[in-house]
Homo-oligomer: A and B are copies of this chain.
Amino acid sequence: MITETQYAHFPSLTLDVGETLPNVQVAYETYGTLNAARSNAILVLHAFSGDAHAAGIDHEGKPGWWANMIGPGKAFDTQLYFVICANVLGGCRGTTGPSSLNPATDKPYGLSFPGITIGDMVRLQKMLIDKLGIARLLAVTGGSMGGMQALEWAASYPEAVEACIPIASTARHSAQQIAFNETGRQAIMADPDFNRGDYYDKTPPGRGLSVARMIGHITYMSDESMREKFGRRLRERQEFSYDFGADFEVESYLRYRGTQFVGRFDANSYLYITKAMDYFDLSAGYPSLAASLERAQSRFLVVSFTSDWLYPSYQSQEIVNALRSRNHDVAYCELSSNYGHDAFLVDVGEQTGIVTGFLARCAREFRTPAGQVGR
C-alpha cells in the first residue's frame, strides 16, 4: 500500500514548561479503517528518530519503520484495526519542532523553541485523537521512546486507553541512558556549524550529528549482533591501513550510518527530543512508580529483549512490578534475541505472536469510555 502523510493543525499547545506553542502542526499517517463503533483504533508511537511513516510504502518507495508489524495479517492487522502514527512534537518530519517557522519572527525557532517533555508529545497526540473522533483507543504502543509515550498515555488519559504495550522501554531514564544522550548532544554542540542552533540557512552541524548517531547505533546493537554482523572483518582490504581510514567493516558501517542520518534529521530536534527522554520519569511528583500508575485503566503487555543493554529487561520489570502492586492487568514477556535494542524493530517473529493474541483479547473485551464491555 502507498501511504499518504496527512497534516492536522491546532491553534495552540500548552507545554509542561509553562509556555504556549502557537500554530501547531502534526504529521500523521493512518492504515486500515476506523469501524463504526470507533473501537478499533491503535496509536503507534515512534522511537527517537522515527516519523509518521510507520507502515506501507511511501511515494519514494520507502517502507515504514514498523512495516513488518503493521499491515494485513501482521501484528497490528490493518484488516482488523485502524492504525495511526504521528511524528512527535519537536520532530523534524512534519510535526512542529525547532526547524519549524516561528510565527512571531517568520524564522525557524532553533533554540528559541521551548523545552518539551514526553507529556507534551502525548498531549498533542491526544488533541489529534480527539480530532479524529476517537474517545478510547484500543491500544497505544511503541518501542523505546514510543514505549515511554505509551506509558504516559495510560497514566495521563486513563479513560482513553484500553490497552498499553510498551516495548523495550522504561518508566524513567537511567544515569547511563542520560549519559549516552548527553554525549551525543555535546558532540552536536561542539560542532562550530551548530552556531547555537542557528544554522538553517547555513551548513548544518553534520559532523557533530554524525558522531552522535554513531554513538546511538552502538547502543542499539548488542555485542553479539555486532560480532555476528562485522566481527573483525576488514573492509575491502587485506591489511591494516595505519592511516585512520576505515580498516574494519564496523567502522565504515558506523561512518555511513552517521553521514546518512545527517541528511534526514535535524540536529536541534536531536537535542530537544533526547532531553525530553532524559527528563522522562513517570513517577516524578508521586511517592512511587506504582502510585503514578494508580489511575490507569488499561490492560498492559510489557515486552523486553534479552540482549537489549540500552533498555535492559530490569527496567521493564520495574514497570511490571509497579503495575502488579496496584493489581493492574499486566502480562510481561522477555523475548530472547541477539539484536539488542534494535530487536523490537527487526526481530519481530515472537513479538508478532504475542501482540496478536493480546490485541485480540483486548478487542473482544473492549470497554467503551462509559465502562461497558463490548464493541
Contact = CB atoms under 8 A, between A and B. Distances in A.
Interface stretch (A146-154, A182-190, A351-359): A182-190
How many copies of the shown chain assemble into the complex?
2
Contact of A240 (B179, B242, B279): B279
B17 A174 contact: no
A289 to B, nearest CB: 12
B232 A211 contact: no
29 contacts: A17-B242, A114-B242, A174-B223, A174-B226, A174-B227, A175-B223, A175-B226, A175-B232, A176-B218, A176-B221, A176-B223, A176-B226, A179-B218, A182-B214, A182-B246, A182-B248, A182-B250, A182-B251, A182-B254, A183-B211, A183-B214, A186-B211, A186-B214, A187-B211, A189-B244, A232-B281, A244-B271, A248-B278, A309-B309
Nearest to A271: B244
Contact of A180 (B176, B218, B230): B218
Say which size band chain A's interface belongs to. Answer: 35 or more
A215 interface: yes
Contacts of A191: 190
A232 B175 CA distance: 6
Nearest to A244: B271
A226 B178 CA distance: 10
A119 interface: no
Contacts of A250: 175, 178-179, 182
Contacts of A17: 242
Contacts of A231: 175
B278 A173 contact: no
A299 interface: no
A249 to B, nearest CB: 8
Interface string A207-223: 11011001101100101
A264 interface: no
Given A114-B242, A182-B248, 12 more contacts: A111-B244, A174-B232, A175-B229, A175-B232, A176-B223, A182-B246, A183-B218, A186-B254, A186-B255, A190-B207, A190-B211, A309-B309
Listed from nearest, the 6 A-B pairs whose CB atoms lie closest are A115-B242, A190-B207, A175-B226, A175-B230, A183-B214, A175-B250
Contacts of A189: 244
Contacts of A179: 214, 217-218, 226, 250-251, 254
B183 A240 contact: no
Contacts of A186: 210-211, 214, 254-255, 258
A261 to B, nearest CB: 13
Contacts of A126: none
A279 B192 CA distance: 32
